Amino acid sequence: MRERRRPRADEAEEFEDETEKRPRSGLIKEIIIIAAVFLLCLFVIPNFIMQRTIVNGDSMNESLHDGDQLMVDKLTPHFKAYERFDVVVFYPFGKDASDEYYIKRVIGLPGETVQIEGDTIYIDGEVLEEHYGKDPMTYAGIAAEPIKLGEDEFFLLGDHREISFDSRYEQVGVVKRSQIAGKAVIRIWPLSKFGSFND
């Protein structure tokens, strides 16, 4: 029976070095992956894909309430246009000017003409059938006269029309696409109301 050759001292040291290197390189790779995932969650997802937003105030009652937490889709609107009745998050004074944001509902779309007479909203001269308004409107604001929206402009209203500070007011006015951060897609808090809010 042939006896196995014992490794020389220098061979044994080389073998030990190899076994030490392998786990160390695996650990470094693991740290790099964890760091990449962390940076993705910290910067890429909130800035470009999905962001958590908290409702502040009652201007979207009864659809949304003060303190509700929403997830806002920031990516899809780059590929699909906003639609009427979408709930969007936007910066009324521009994101560079202020970090103050509002949450409102899309009523008028680019290229349309919007007018409010009494409690009725007209889009291109036709009555808009909708059930989101909580109260009758008593203030038409700048929409008392027809407003022709540009190719990148939207007319937004809160659902609680009597208290909502929205496109009817000169300080907000029509909202450009560049001012909109994204579309609110799901309510995540409170848990008892988790899910869609746009029924």
List, for residues 136-176, the tens digit of each pLDDT value: 889 999 999 999 999 999 999 999 999 999 999 999 999 99
Q: What class is the 55-193 domain?
A: mainly beta
Angle, vertex CA 184, rays to CA 81 and CA 198, nearest 5: 95
Say whether 59 is catalytic: yes
Q: Annotated catalytic residue: which of 74, 104, 167, 183?
A: 104
Say if pTM beats, i.e. exceeds, 0.95.
no
**Mean pLDDT of the chain, nearest integer:** 83
Determine the average pLDDT of the residues in 25-38: 68
Question: Measured between alpha carbons, how far is 84 from 101 in angstroms, rounded to an integer?
Answer: 20
**98 and 91 Cβ atoms separated by less than 8 Å:** yes
pLDDT digits (tens, 9 = 90+) for 45-96: 455 567 888 999 999 988 999 999 998 998 887 788 999 999 999 998 877 7
Check pLDDT > 60 for residue 10. Answer: no
In the set 59, 63, 164, 167, the catalytic residue is 59
Rounded to an integer, the average pLDDT of 7-30 is 58
What angle (nearest 5°) sits at the alpha carbon of residue 77, between those of residues 76 and 82?
130
